[in-house]
Structure 1
Amino acid sequence: MADALCIQGAFVADLDAAVGPHVGWKVGLTSESMQERFGADAPVAGPMLVGMIWPSEVPVERDFGARPMVEADLAVRVADPAIMQASDHAEVLAAIDWVLPFIELVDLMVADPSTLDARSITAINVGARGGVLGEPLPVNPEMGETLAAMTVVIENEDGEVLGEYPGSAILGHPLDAVLWLVDELAARGETLEAGELLSLGSFGPLFSVDEHDAFRVRYEGLVPGQAPEVEVRFE
């Protein structure tokens, strides 16, 4: 893993010249299905850069990566660097100000993705290539429960449901991905600053970009009386 992090650092330095600067972090391998697929027993993390974040109203080129894939994700925004001392969900909620619907656009990069494992995924910066943000949702205390209890639905361009996943699919609770990242960054000698975006990981499997012209992710039960969603369309 030390070698993988060294490679990641060199790779991100090259990316930074093209799509930098740093805007946050991606946590990967946070669902049971993704850990099983890649033979991992813990998450992994890598930096996100500002050029990786795209508005939902702009179509995305289908070949945005060498092995382009889509995942139903979720992001939060750091409001207070005190998040580095967070030890439970309440302390995480107190240190973030937004929850954001997020579709991540992943690039598995290699000729045979079945050969990837936690170390090689770390080396390729956890496949971070881009992502589409929905409208931000202000944090409220009820999200300590609704984030885990919600149902995340992903549909194609025709409204066909491709999958439904519980919020708890991410490490039992999406905020546990933040707590894991805090510990991981502390071990790396890194910190989080106000304004950083944190991508918390996939609720379900990866979907091939070649299969559909659009994907929509909806978060049912996250906010009472609302159905927050985000969509990406390919051209």
Structure 2
Amino acid sequence: MPITDVPGKARALYDARRTRTQIPPFTDEDPTLGMADGYAVQKDLVELILGDGDTIIGYKVGLTSKPMQKMIGVDSPDYGPVLGSTLYADRGEVSMSDFIQPKMEAEIVAVMGAELRGPGVSVLDAARAVAGVCAAVEIVDSRFEDWRIKLADTVADLASNGAAAVSSRVVPLSEVDTRLIGMTLTRNGELVDTGAGAAALGDPLAVVAWLANTLGENGIALEPGHLVMTGALHAAVPMNAGDVFRADFDRLGPVTLRVVD
């Protein structure tokens, strides 16, 4: 059965984002909702957000690791836009009051150097179009109560996107093997997790290719300058005011984000 009241669901998420309040998951009312339903709501939600003057500066890809796919019960990633209003600089500060139930993830970001349009994009095609990669941390957040999300819920909610901090240092692909980039994440100087590029679909460049092909089905291309957040390399870490997170990536360097009240 087709999803009902797409505009109403999009408005509910829009209001939840604006007021920082939690709402019941859409799948509580209709457990049959799936990925296509989630994207229908996401499309309307993005239109509402862009109507306020925000911009799309790239895309985030989620569910790129096997454990996360198993947890949600899918065998494919999902995606959502990265909004200009949610991007922070390295060594910046974010306020807990801007989020509902945020968690921190470290990941590799690809910076597009040329247009990449699917279908038929290979990993080699993606490598040719990517200008380089850089270090990043992403704050994931959910507008749904207690993170009780299923696939349709997280897709509708912009793939649970909250914010991101990205290093200004872009490293050319000629200098790195994206699969082998190691990472450590510390909170207040204490190690909380580690990871490597291969955790993201086996290779972050495979994530870029997947995204280009998936967007291409809807007539959308990755454009020069777009950021592609290629997915968490470890389990998401709860964050609190006073925390200082630092992710150190082999060859890419560090990125730091401070959490304030």
TM-score after normalising by structure 1: 0.88
- Letter paired with 2:152: R
Does the 8 Å CA contact 1:151/1:166 hold for their aligned counterparts? yes
**How far apart are residue 198 of structure 1 and its match?**
0.8
The aligned counterpart of 1:108 is 142
Larger Cα Rg: Structure 1 or Structure 2? 2
Give 5+ residue unaligned stretches, structure 2. 1-34
The aligned counterpart of 2:230 is 200
The aligned counterpart of 1:234 is 259
Q: Summarize deviations over 1:149-172 as a string: whole Å, max 9, x none.
A: 121111111x21111112211111
Does the 8 Å CA contact 1:154/1:215 hold for their aligned counterparts? yes
Kindly report the root-mean-square deviation, in angstroms, between the aligned alpha carbons of the 2 structures. Answer: 1.9
Q: Residues of 1 paired with 2:108 and 2:175: CA distance?
A: 17
**How far apart are residue 103 of structure 1 and its match?**
0.5
The aligned counterpart of 1:148 is 179
The aligned counterpart of 2:164 is 131
Q: Residues of 1 paired with 2:244 and 2:165: CA distance?
A: 12
The aligned counterpart of 2:247 is 217
Q: Residues of 1 paired with 2:248 and 2:161: CA distance?
A: 22
TM-score after normalising by structure 2: 0.80
The aligned counterpart of 2:130 is 96
Q: Residues of 1 paired with 2:120 and 2:242: CA distance?
A: 40
Give 5+ residue unaligned stretches, structure 1. none
**How far apart are residue 79 of structure 1 and its match?**
1.1
Percent identity (aligned): 24
**Deviating runs (4+, > 6 A) in structure 1?**
none
Q: Secondary structure at the match of 1:6?
A: helix
**How far apart are residue 229 of structure 1 and its match?**
0.9
TM-aligned CA distance change 1:23 to 1:112, over 3 Å = same
Aligned length: 226
Does the 8 Å CA contact 2:119/2:216 hold for their aligned counterparts? no
Q: Secondary structure at the match of 2:97?
A: coil
Which of 207, 214, 218 does residue 184 from structure 1 map onto?
214
